[in-house]
């Protein structure tokens, strides 16, 4: 390779990232118009297209580099010089941290995820001391109650960029003040002030005002989800002021926010104060920078591994028929490998399973499906693998592992947030906790269905419980769209003997689902059955599912709330005269 080509390649990669992030911001900037026009199908399409942008632009850069190098292979020294030039371009670059991840992606595409070493990639940042630079304008604006909270909130809501009229701004302000008074106390309120992000956070059918509430005792989140009625009028649906509530809003089971962030590192740092339980990876994920979130997640994994003497073990729970799942005992994530061979009743391919996981990545997860990160050629030190797990890997996934002596390389795996399997949780809880779990489980199924997702296998073992007590689905190999399922009633038996026969007396075609059959395994446990019947008996009726299908086919997009229905102002303080749908 001629000398001097290294700088051209480094510049080409950085220019490619500029193009990608420019398109990312362009798609994001359309969120306000989509919200104001209630163009919910475009909201869903924009979410998918923004996810695809990254890989598309990586592919464009790879093709450019192949033209520049005339398709010739490059040696290790040449690549090291490219990285050195690239690193020199970053000190004054505003999005250096994501630019490093983009470099990694281009490298992995060029070399099929081989030779992934710190010398060739930005495994760790080249500028760890520089999380973000001085920014040209403030990220947020401060509001003080010099003349009381009513004029303060009036200024906040009036300063919003939304161009729709308010249904009843004064009413919403009264509700917010009532909530703050109940939460903080009337005496504390005059000594508090609010800092509000300049940009709204859009997701699903809501525009979120995200702020910080500074009190005498510390800083709290200040979140206002703003919705619009069918008539095009704005209203505040609730006010959230606890870190637990904010954590759920920014949770790993939700779609990424559309928030205009030309300096994402600065926004992540600003959010960190009200989301102290979130890692850097989770915060980048929440604002849509999912590929850089993957980089940060891998760094968090490496840091944990360096400080731990734990061994990888098989994950607790019932062993899956499609995935082999393992973890580190104290780590908050699990590693999932598609098995080489599936159980006989699983008539599917590995390609089908990967397609299901990609569907979940792109679809609205409505707070009920865990996000995943996909890795190739994942290296593990054999000394850190429990012998029982090592034997299981050799038994279940021999075609996906390569033995390198002291290490093994796993060709492909997913990393996902670790949760307590619901079947284990249900064995451990009683009373109100049991009731809450069954309510959550049924609500998860309902909300998935309303979002056009049928889980397929709804056994308790395929759901997990988060640290906030939410039930989340995480087994995707049988997932499909609701509109692809044929929900049927079981025909009446012809003779009494039919119900005792080992085979059904009616025909069953692929895609047929009989909701009445859910009762056989859902209600088998006497602790669980009566609770489920009380709260979710309609899930046993085929007409319930068919009615949902009709709404989906007619183009309805259901409202999805990142909080309990009882927290809505319309429930707490009185009806909001809105015809907006509820879920």
Residues in the annotated binding site for ATP: 315-321, 336
| Of 234, 152, 161, the residue nearest 197 (C-alpha) | 161
Alpha carbon distance 118, 315 (integer Å):
29
Residue 133: inside a domain, yes or no?
no
Distances in Å between the alpha carbon of 417 and those of 64, 336, 474? 36, 11, 9
Let me know whether 439 and 486 are in one domain: yes
Residue that finishes a domain, picked among 418, 434, 449: 418
Residue that finishes a domain, picked among 418, 451, 485: 418
Let me know whether 42 and 105 are in one domain: yes
For residue 335, give its domain range: 308-418
Residue that finishes a domain, picked among 303, 328, 346: 303
Residue 30: inside a domain, yes or no?
yes
Let me know whether 102 and 61 are in one domain: yes
Residue 125: inside a domain, yes or no?
no
Catalytic residue chosen out of the listed positions 172, 371, 475, 477: 371
Both tokens of 354, joined, read 């990967």
Let me know whether 557 and 427 are in one domain: yes
Let me know whether 431 and 548 are in one domain: yes
Q: What is the end-to-end Cα distance of the chain in Å, rounded?
A: 60
- The secondary element (H helix, E strand) that includes residue 8 is helix 5-29
Q: Domain tally for the chain?
A: 4
- Is 371 among the catalytic positions? yes
Let me know whether 359 and 451 are in one domain: no
Let me know whether 102 and 244 are in one domain: no
Residue 550: inside a domain, yes or no?
yes
Let me know whether 481 and 556 are in one domain: yes
Q: What does R_g of the chain's alpha carbons equal in angstroms?
A: 26
Residue 40: inside a domain, yes or no?
yes
Let me know whether 400 and 276 are in one domain: no
- pTM of the predicted model as reported, rounded to 2 decimal places: 0.92
Residue 89, Cβ neighbours under 10 Å: how many? 15
Both tokens of 396, joined, read 């279940």
Residue 569: inside a domain, yes or no?
no
One digit per residue, pLDDT tens: the chain, 583 residues?
556 799 999 999 999 999 999 999 999 999 999 999 999 999 999 999 999 999 999 999 999 998 988 877 677 778 889 999 999 999 889 899 999 999 999 998 887 656 667 778 899 888 776 555 555 568 999 999 999 999 999 999 999 999 999 999 999 999 999 999 999 998 999 999 999 999 999 999 999 999 999 999 999 999 999 999 999 999 999 999 999 999 999 999 999 999 999 999 999 999 999 999 999 999 999 999 999 999 999 999 999 999 999 999 999 989 999 999 999 999 999 999 999 999 888 889 999 999 999 999 999 888 999 999 999 999 999 999 999 999 999 999 999 999 999 999 999 999 999 999 999 999 999 999 999 999 999 999 999 999 999 999 899 999 999 999 999 999 999 999 999 999 999 888 777 777 767 778 788 888 999 999 999 888 889 999 999 999 999 999 999 999 999 999 999 998 889 999 999 999 998 755 443 333 3
Residue 572: inside a domain, yes or no?
no
Q: Are 558 and 565 in contact (CB under 8 A)?
A: no
Let me know whether 402 and 259 are in one domain: no
Alpha carbon distance 69, 74 (integer Å):
8
Furthest CA-CA distance within the chain: 86
Let me know whether 78 and 219 are in one domain: no
Looking up tokens 């050195």 gives 84
Residue 118: inside a domain, yes or no?
no
Alpha carbon distance 338, 54 (integer Å):
25
Let me know whether 173 and 77 are in one domain: no
Torsion sign, CA atoms 545, 359, 298, 99 = negative
| Of 75, 92, 68, 53, the residue nearest 10 (C-alpha) | 68
């Amino acid at each position: 390779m001629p000398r001097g080509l290294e700088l051209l390649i480094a510049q080409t990669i950085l220019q490619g990232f500029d193009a990608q992030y420019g398109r990312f911001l362009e798609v994001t900037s359309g969120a306000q118009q989509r919200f104001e026009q209630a163009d919910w199908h475009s909201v869903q399409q924009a979410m998918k297209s923004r996810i695809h942008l990254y890989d598309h632009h990586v592919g464009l850069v790879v093709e450019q580099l192949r033209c520049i190098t005339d398709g010739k292979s490059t040696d290790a020294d040449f690549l090291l010089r490219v990285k050195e030039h690239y690193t020199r371009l970053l000190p004054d670059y505003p999005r250096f941290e994501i630019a490093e991840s983009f470099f990694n992606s281009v490298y992995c595409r060029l070399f099929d995820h081989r030779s992934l070493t710190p010398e060739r990639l930005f495994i760790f940042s080249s500028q760890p001391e520089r999380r973000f630079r001085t920014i040209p304008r403030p990220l947020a604006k401060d509001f003080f109650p010099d003349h009381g909270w009513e004029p303060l909130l009036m200024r906040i809501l009036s300063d919003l960029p939304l161009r729709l009229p308010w249904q009843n701004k004064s009413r919403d302000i009264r509700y917010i003040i009532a909530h703050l008074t109940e939460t903080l106390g009337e005496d504390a309120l005059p000594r508090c002030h609010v800092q509000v992000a300049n940009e709204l956070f859009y997701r699903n059918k809501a525009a979120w005002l995200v702020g910080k509430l500074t009190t005498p005792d510390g800083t709290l989140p200040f979140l206002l989800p703003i919705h619009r009625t069918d008539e095009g009028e704005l209203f505040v649906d609730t006010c959230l002021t606890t870190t637990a509530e904010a954590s759920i809003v920014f949770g790993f089971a939700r779609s990424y926010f559309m928030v205009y962030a030309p300096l994402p590192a600065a926004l992540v740092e600003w959010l960190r104060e009200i989301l102290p339980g979130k890692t850097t990876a989770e915060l980048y994920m929440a604002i849509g920078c999912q590929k850089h979130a993957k980089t940060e997640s891998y760094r968090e994994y490496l840091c944990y591994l360096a400080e731990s003497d734990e061994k990888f073990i098989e994950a607790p729970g019932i062993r899956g028929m499609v995935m082999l799942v393992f973890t580190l005992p104290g780590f908050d994530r699990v590693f999932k490998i598609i098995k080489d061979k599936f159980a006989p009743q699983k008539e599917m391919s590995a390609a089908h399973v990967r397609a299901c996981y990609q569907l979940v990545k792109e679809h609205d997860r409505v707070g009920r499906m865990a996000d995943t990160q996909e890795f190739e050629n994942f290296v593990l030190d054999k000394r850190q693998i429990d012998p029982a797990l090592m034997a299981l890997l050799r038994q279940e996934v021999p075609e996906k592992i390569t033995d390198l002596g002291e290490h093994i390389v796993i060709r492909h795996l997913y990393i996902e947030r670790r949760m307590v399997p619901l079947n284990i949780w249900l064995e451990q809880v009683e009373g109100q906790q049991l009731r809450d779990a069954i309510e959550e489980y049924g609500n998860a199924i309902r909300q998935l269905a309303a979002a056009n997702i049928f889980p397929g296998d709804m056994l308790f073992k395929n759901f997990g419980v988060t640290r906030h007590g939410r039930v989340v689905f995480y087994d995707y190999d049988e997932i499909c769209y609701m509109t692809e399922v044929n929900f049927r009633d079981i025909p009446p038996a012809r003779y009494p003997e039919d119900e005792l026969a080992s085979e059904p007396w009616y025909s069953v075609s692929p895609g047929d689902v009989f909701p009445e059959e859910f009762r056989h395994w859902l209600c088998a446990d006497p602790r669980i059955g009566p609770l489920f019947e009380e709260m979710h008996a309609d899930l046993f009726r085929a007409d319930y599912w068919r009615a949902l299908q009709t709404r989906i086919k007619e183009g309805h997009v259901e409202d999805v709330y990142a909080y309990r229905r009882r927290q809505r102002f319309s429930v707490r303080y009185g009806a909001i005269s809105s015809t907006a749908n509820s879920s």
